[in-house]
Amino acid sequence: MKNNKLSNRNTESKPHLSPTQVNMFLRCPAQWYYRYVRGLKRPPSGAATLGSAVDSGITHNYRQKIESHQDLALDEVLDAFSTDFEARKSETLWGPEEKPSQVKDDGARVLSLYQGDVAPTVQPTAVQKRVELDMPNFAYRFVVVPDVVERGSIIRDTKVVKRSPAKVENAPALAPAHQDQMVAYALAYRATQERAEEGCVVDYLVRTKNTKLVQIPFRVTSSHLAYYKNLIGLVARQIEALIFTPNRQNYLCTRRHCGYWEECEKDFGGVVRS
């Protein structure tokens, strides 16, 4: 991608990409095609519903904290989480061994941990603020919505996971997709603030029996930025060229993990494994 400068502009006439879309396209271009070209929507997984509901509780607290500088009572945050979870529950594709009530209990535990250990240390300055970046020479905007920017220009995100993050050189490390997401947030921050963020932090809430918090700091380098900008451009070029190859070698290419497997078999042939 020769011209990889992204600028902060509102270009309503253009379609858009997002970090989530880029991640989906890299996982499987055919899956992106079914979702964003054919417009076929599939129910979210239990994990996705849980993550969204926990995020709603955190966001409910932080939005008012920008002005109040005070955290809400835990019961109010849990109420916001519960309301969102119940609204999503009936539209969720639950796994054969998943019980919504147990998943909800997991969410309440990890959110309580977050509100006790993380929220008191964070003074947000922006929460879920949408940023639109123009992509020169491409018919797409890049739309980014960072979770939280806190005082001191720290970008923060939260992930609810079933197991602790893998370690690299004996230290917990961000999953590649989560690292790319933080780079996207940094792009958005720098485009709007015209300066670099001080750093990034991902709070992993591990929903094991003994709920725990794993905090991983991350610093975005010029190399990270160059890689991700080029990645965005390459994805956009493949979309414009209508190249939507199914990625049957991906470990998530299974009937359980992909809601588009029937369309994929019909259009491309072969068999998607169970």
Give pLDDT tens digits for 20-74.
Answer: 999 999 999 999 999 999 999 999 999 999 999 999 999 999 999 999 999 999 9
User: What average pLDDT does this structure show over 77-106?
Assistant: 96
* 131-134 β-sheet, strand order: 7-8, 131-134, 141-144, 16-17
Q: What percent of the chain has pLDDT over 70?
A: 95
Of 265, 260, 252, 249, nearest in space to 36 by CA: 260
Check residue 269 and give left, alpha or beta (phi > 0: left; psi -120 to 50: alpha): left
Of 85, 76, 62, nearest in space to 158 by CA: 62
> For position 134, what pLDDT does the model report?
85
How far CA 67 is from CA of 61, 120, 172, 264, in Å, comes to: 11, 15, 34, 49
- H helices of 28-163, in order, are 29-32, 46-68, 74-89, 100-117
Q: Where are the domains of the chain?
A: 7-268
Q: For residue 229, how many C-alpha atoms fall within 13 Å in the half-sphere facing its CB?
A: 22
Instruction: Tell the residue number behind the tokens 């509100």, with chain if given.
Output: 115
> For position 157, what pLDDT does the model report?
97
> For position 178, what pLDDT does the model report?
95
> For position 167, what pLDDT does the model report?
85
Task: State which CATH number among 3.90.320.10, 1.20.1250.20, 3.30.1330.60, 3.40.50.300 fits the domain covering 7-268.
Answer: 3.90.320.10
> For position 37, what pLDDT does the model report?
95
Q: Where does the pLDDT of residue 141 fall: very low under 50, low under 70, confident under 90, or very high at 90 and above?
A: confident
Q: Where does the pLDDT of residue 256 fall: very low under 50, low under 70, confident under 90, or very high at 90 and above?
A: confident
Q: Is the pLDDT of residue 3 over 90?
A: no
Give pLDDT tens digits for 166-214.
Answer: 887 778 899 999 999 999 999 999 999 999 999 999 999 999 889 999 9
Q: Is the pLDDT of residue 144 over 60?
A: yes
Q: Is 85:105 a contact under the CB 8 Å cutoff? A: no
Q: Is 73:120 a contact under the CB 8 Å cutoff? A: no
